Amino acid sequence: MERLKTPEKAMTSMLHSKFSDEKEYEEIKRKRQIQADHTFSEWIERYSGRWYLICTPKDEHVNPSIMQTLIEQLAKEQFYEIIFVLLMVHRDEEFVKSTGQAMFVEMLITQWNAGNYDNRLALCDSHHD
């Protein structure tokens, strides 16, 4: 079965195929990264309070509603790596743990309904490690 590419991998693959010169491709890639870094820096400056909440474990203002809002805003900006950072920083919060468990159960149900028994067993094995 062919795996679907993420949008970033598809874009990278498309960019790479347009350039025969590896140096030119690397330069385009570098410029894209600089732009992304600049955009993220601007976001931090504009929303320093949100950045504080993302980076501060055990902050009294972080609750399920705030977490959901932060995730939605980060997704809107396509800052997916920062969503991961947010979840890791706050991983000891009970609502993050229970959300993670609910997501795991949903993945198991999806695998079960799709008949992907090998994937379901692999998920269970990795969850217990």
Q: How far apart are the first and last CA of the chain?
A: 27
Q: What's the rounded mean pLDDT across residues 68-84?
A: 90
| pTM for the structure as a whole | 0.58
| Span 12-68, pLDDT tens digits | 665 556 656 778 878 887 777 777 777 888 999 999 999 999 999 999 999 989 998
**Where do the H-state alpha helices sit in 1-129?**
7-18, 22-46, 48-55, 64-76, 80-89, 94-114, 117-128
Q: Which residue has the higher pLDDT, 33 or 1?
A: 33
Convert the pLDDT of each residue in 97-121 to its tens digit. 887 777 777 877 887 788 776 665 6
Residues ≥6 apart with Cβ < 8 Å to 2: none
Residue of 83 and 2 predicted with greater confidence = 83
What are residue 19's phi and psi, to 5 degrees? -115, 125
| Residue 98, both tokens | 């229970």
pLDDT given at position 2: 45
**What is the model's pLDDT at position 52?**
96
CB 35 within 8 Å of CB 66: no
Q: Using pLDDT thresholds of 50, 70 and 90, give the confidence band for residue 90.
A: very high
Instruction: Quote the CA–CA distance of 31 and 33 in Å, as a whole number.
Output: 5
pLDDT at position 53 is 95
pLDDT of residue 119: 61
